[in-house]
């Protein structure tokens, strides 16, 4: 699985690019998926080490590692569909081998099993950072874009709105609203481009930890 990133669109073309919106969806959901992955990993590691002195610890640890591989494949699929190239092949759940036990042994010896653990642990801090950055930028850009509309309603007496707190803004409300709209028009595509760049970074990380480890 190559996890290829599609070509980067032009400055304003990004607003009409489906991949930009699906990448935004991935980044917006990354905090929830990151917390879930981190909780699963920490809980699995704690149980595996805590039950290591008992016979039941072995099947618990093996089940946890198999679940880690399953989550890694699910994350790779999630990235492939929303961020990368949806036509790229999917990774195998378990290493190739003849029979269950040889494949289980190969899973323990496969470096990708252990790098997948690292990837799942990194998902939470990365997800929080992605979610915070994207939601903040989207909120600010959409708020700036709404300023001219709000000023238009205020001018017709349908809405009372304060567009600024400085003396200059209060003295030039129409120009302030126009400048806010232009700033929002510039910030919105920049936010989409940042989302695509963050998506490319996540693809790179997944490629090295989930696929080519």
Contacts of 52 (CB under 8 A, 6+ apart): 61
Per-residue model confidence (pLDDT) at position 155: 52
DSSP 8-76: PP-TTGGGG-HHHHHHHHHHHHHHHHHHHHHHHHHHHHHHHHHTTTSTTHHHHHHHHHHHHHHHHHHHH
Percent of the chain with pLDDT over 90: 36
What tens digit of pLDDT does each residue of 47-81 get? 988 887 888 888 888 899 989 989 998 998 888 88
For 118, half-sphere exposure in the C-beta direction (CA atoms, 13 angstrom radius) is 11
Residue 2 lies inside a defined structural domain of this protein = no
Please tell me the predicted confidence (pLDDT) of residue 213.
56
Q: Does pLDDT of 20 surpass 80? A: yes
Within a domain: 93: yes
Domain count, the chain: 1
Asked if 111 and 68 touch (Cβ cutoff 8 Å), the reply is no
> Does the pLDDT of residue 42 top 90, yes or no?
yes
Let me know if residue 6 belongs to a domain: no
Spatial distance between the Cα atoms of 21 and 17, rounded to a whole number of angstroms: 7
pLDDT in tens, 182-204: 888 899 999 999 999 999 999 99
The H helix count followed by the E strand count for the chain is 6, 0
* Residue 185, pLDDT score: 86
Classify 131 as helix, strand or coil.
helix
Whether the pLDDT of residue 159 is over 50: the answer is no
Q: List, for residues 102-143, the tens digit of each pLDDT value.
A: 777 878 888 888 999 999 999 999 999 999 999 999 999 988
Pair 96, 103: CB distance under 8 Å: yes
**Residue 70, domain extent:** 13-211
Query: Cβ of 43: how many Cβ atoms within 10 Å?
Result: 11
The 3-state secondary structure of 4-16, one letter per residue: CCCCCCCCCHHHH
pLDDT computed for residue 125 by the predictor? 95
**Contacts for 16 with CB less than 8 Å, ≥ 6 apart:** none
Q: Is residue 29 part of a domain?
A: yes
Categorize the per-residue pLDDT at 1 as very low, low, confident or very high, splitting at 50, 70 and 90.
very low
Q: For position 157, what pLDDT does the model report? A: 46
In a domain? residue 103: yes
What pLDDT, in 10s, does the model give residues 27-40? 999 999 999 999 99
Q: Residue 98 domain-assigned?
A: yes
């Amino acid at each position: 699985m190559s996890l290829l990133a599609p070509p980067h669109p032009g400055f304003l073309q990004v607003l009409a690019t489906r991949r930009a919106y699906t990448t935004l969806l991935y980044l917006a959901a990354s905090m929830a998926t990151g917390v879930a992955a981190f909780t699963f990993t920490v809980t699995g590691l704690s149980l595996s080490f805590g039950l290591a002195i008992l016979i039941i610890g072995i099947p618990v640890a093996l089940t946890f590692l198999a679940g880690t591989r399953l989550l890694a494949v699910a994350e790779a699929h999630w990235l492939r569909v929303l961020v990368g190239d949806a036509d790229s092949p999917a990774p195998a759940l378990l290493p190739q081998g003849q029979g269950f036990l040889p494949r289980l042994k190969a899973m323990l010896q496969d470096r990708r099993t252990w790098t997948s653990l690292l990837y799942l642990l990194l998902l939470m801090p990365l997800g929080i950072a992605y979610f915070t950055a994207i939601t903040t930028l989207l909120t600010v850009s959409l708020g700036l874009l709404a300023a001219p509309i709000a000023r238009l309603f205020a001018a017709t007496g349908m809405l009372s709105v304060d567009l600024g707190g400085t003396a200059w803004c209060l003295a030039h409300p129409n120009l302030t609203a126009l400048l806010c709209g232009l700033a929002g028009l510039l910030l919105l595509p920049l936010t989409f481009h940042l989302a695509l760049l963050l998506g490319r970074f996540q693809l790179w990380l997944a490629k090295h930890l989930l696929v080519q480890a």
